[in-house]
Amino acid sequence: MTSILTNAAAMAALQTLRAINGNLETTQGRVSSGKRVEEASDNAAYWSISTTMRSDNRALSTVHDALGLGAAKVDTAYAAMDSAIEVVSEIKAKLVAAYGVAADREKIQEEIAQLQQQLKGIAESASFSGENWIQAPISDGGTPPTLTPSVKQVVASFVRTADGQVAVKTVDYTLDSKTVLFDLSGGKLGILDKEATMEDGGGAPTSLGFSVTTLDITKLSDVATTMDGIVAGPYTDEDVLDEMTQFIDGQLKAMTSAASSLGSIQSRIEMQEDFVASLMDVIDKGVGRLVDADMNEESTRLKALQTQQQLGIQSLSIANTSAENILQLFKQ
C-alpha cells in the first residue's frame, strides 16, 4: 500500500542512516583520539582498570625519581667512605714508619695530623640534599653513651595488593656504630672517633684515650702510662705503636665493612631503578591493549561507513521520491 501520510520506506532508510551516522561518529572519535575506550561509557570495566593503572604508573614515575635521589645520596656516602679508607690506610702506613725512628716521630705526626684533618673534611663534605650518611648522631650523649641508631630510607617501589590496598616500600640503611664515621652527638661511637680500649684484669674494657683522629705518636709515653694503669707493664713505645697499629687496622676493617654495605645498597638501588623503568613500560603496554584503538581496523571501518553513509543518503532520497510518483498519477 502506498500512503502519502506514512512513508515506511523513507522511515526505514532514515533509521538506517541514523545508525550509520552514529557508528561513523564513534569511529571518527577513535581515529582522532587513538583510543577505543576514552570514557567510562565506552567500556566501564576497561576504563576503570586503565584509569587506576595510569594513576599507579604516575606513582611509579615518582618512585623512579626518588630512587635517583637515593642513589645520589648513597653514591656520595660511598665516595666519601672510599676516600676515608684510603686516608686511614695512609695513617696506618705512617704508624709502621714510626717504629725505630724516635727522632723523626714529630715529623711523621705532622703528616698524621694532616691526614686526620682530611678525614674530618671528608666526613663534613659528604652531604647530599642536606643528608650525611657517614656523619650523624648515633648516641644519646650520656655517660656512658647509649646507642640510638637511625634508619635512612630510600623509596623503592609502589605496590598494589590483590585487595586494592596500596603501599610504598623502601630500601633501608641503618646509621649506627658500624656505618657512621663520626658520632655528632658526642658519644664517640663512630668508627673514627671511637676510642681504643684495653681490657683490665677482670675483662672490662678501659679507654686508652685515643681514636683514629686523635692518636699522637709524640705522646706514646702518656699512652704507655695509661696502659700500665690498666694492666701492669712496663710498656715501651713500640708496645704502644703495636696497640695503635692494631686498633687502626681494626677500624679500617670496620670501614671496609661499611663500604661493602653501601656498595650492596648501590647495587640494589640500581637494579630497582631498572625494574621500575621496565615495569612502567609493561603497564603502559597493558593499558594500551585495553583502551587503544587498532588504527588499521578503524581506518578500514571509517572508509566503509563513509560509503554506507553515501548509500544511505541515496536510499533516503529514493524513498522520498515515492510521494512524487503519486502526484504524477493525479496529473494524468
Model confidence over 60-109: pLDDT tens digits?
A: 999 999 999 999 999 999 999 999 999 999 999 999 988 877 768 899 99
The neighbour count for residue 264, using CB atoms within 10 Å, is 13
Q: Which residue has the higher pLDDT, 20 or 263?
A: 263
Q: Could you tell me the pLDDT band of residue 332, with boundaries at 50, 70 and 90?
A: low
Distance CA 17, CA 303 (A): 15
Q: Please determine, for residue 188, whether its predicted confidence score (pLDDT) is greater than 60.
A: yes
Q: Dig out the grid coordinates for 228 from the structure.
A: 700500665
Taking all residues of the chain, what is their mean pLDDT, rounded to a whole number?
87
Beta bridge partners of 119: none
Q: What is the mean pLDDT of residues 187-203?
A: 89
Between residues 196 and 104, which one has the greater pLDDT? 196
What pLDDT, on a 0 to 100 scale, did the predictor assign at position 127? 92
* Stretch among 30-34, 55-59, 70-74, 207-211 having the lowest mean pLDDT: 30-34
> What is the CB-side half-sphere exposure of residue 161 using CA atoms within 13 A?
6
What is the predicted pLDDT for the residue at 247?
95
Of 151, 148, 152, 126, which Cα lies nearest the Cα of 139? Answer: 148
pLDDT greater at residue 137 or residue 304 = 137
Mean pLDDT of 248-253: 96
Helix, strand, coil shares, percent, the chain, to 5:
65, 10, 25
Q: What percent of the chain has pLDDT over 70?
A: 95
Is the pLDDT reported for residue 183 higher than 70?
A: yes
| pLDDT over 70 (residue 3) | no
Q: Is 109:216 a contact under the CB 8 Å cutoff?
A: yes
Give the pLDDT confidence score for residue 195 in this predicted structure.
93
| Dmax (CA) of the chain | 147
CA dist., res. 66 & res. 92, Å (int): 39
Please enumerate in sequence order all residues whose Cβ is within 8 A of that of 19, keeping only pairs 6 or more positions apart, or say none: none
List, as one string, the DSSP characters of 257-297. HHHHHHHHHHHHHHHHHHHHHHHHHHHHHHHHHHHB--HHH
Give the residue from 269, 258, 260, 251 showing the smallest Cα distance to 133: 258
The enclosing H or E element of 146 equals none
Residue pointed to by grid coordinates 664517640: 188
pLDDT band at 2 (very low <50, low <70, confident <90, very high): low
Q: How many residues are recorded in the chain?
A: 332
Q: What is the pLDDT of residues 157-168, one digit of tens each?
A: 888 887 888 888
The set of cell numbers assigned to 206 is 678501659
Task: Please report, rounded to a whole number, the percentage of residues in the chain having pLDDT higher than 90.
Answer: 47
pLDDT: which is higher, 3 or 151: 151
List the grid coordinates of 212: 683514629
Higher per-residue confidence, 160 vs 325 = 160
pLDDT at 282 over 60: yes
pLDDT of residue 241: 93
Domain ranges of the chain: 38-290
The class level of CATH for 38-290 reads: mainly alpha
Q: What is the rounded distance in angstroms from the CA atom of residue 280 to the CA atom of residue 63?
A: 11
